[in-house]
Amino acid sequence: MTISELSYKAAFIADRRRQLHKQWHTYCNTLIQAVTTTKQTLHLEIQSSPDEGLNFSLFNQFTLQVTRDTGFNDREIHYILSTRDGQHRIPLASSQLGIDGLLDGQIRNTDRQAVLEHYLARISCIYDHLYQAMQQDIPLTVEALAPALLRPSQA
């Protein structure tokens, strides 16, 4: 292989990585805007930036993390519930972000309402379990949530 062929391939790889990184930042910015501009109260507070993955504080008790896999050319986004200190983590769901800006092949990462609905669909199980715990007046920790959230029907 010649140096010009290697240079061409390296430029292609670098360009694709930049495009995917740009799509991730666009998705994060759209999600932040959607959460902060919704007229509905979700009790989510933003705690970090797209470079670190997004962290939302939920009721100042839990952290909802939105992170991208760190593998080379990886397009997978993970939604994770954790304790505020990050000690206990429960994977909630995952999605794919395409180089074309489509989330799970369907949702444009610039469509605030669709991105918000997609995100809420991934984390709604948390609200369901917290709501049930409050109705039944029982204490709840991330550790106690884990068995219910890790069931195949919840994934």
C-alpha 80/C-alpha 82 separation (Å) is 6
Residues above pLDDT 70, as percent of the chain? 95
How many domains would you assign to the chain? 1
Whether 106 is covered by a domain: the verdict is: yes
Tokens 């010649």 correspond to: 2
Residues above pLDDT 90, as percent of the chain? 67
Evaluate if residue 81 carries a pLDDT over 90. Answer: yes
Q: DSSP assignment, residue 151?
A: S
C-alpha 37/C-alpha 19 separation (Å) is 27
Evaluate if residue 122 carries a pLDDT over 50. Answer: yes
Whether 155 is covered by a domain: the verdict is: no
Whether 117 is covered by a domain: the verdict is: yes
**In which domain, by residue range, is 87 found?**
3-150
Whether 76 is covered by a domain: the verdict is: yes
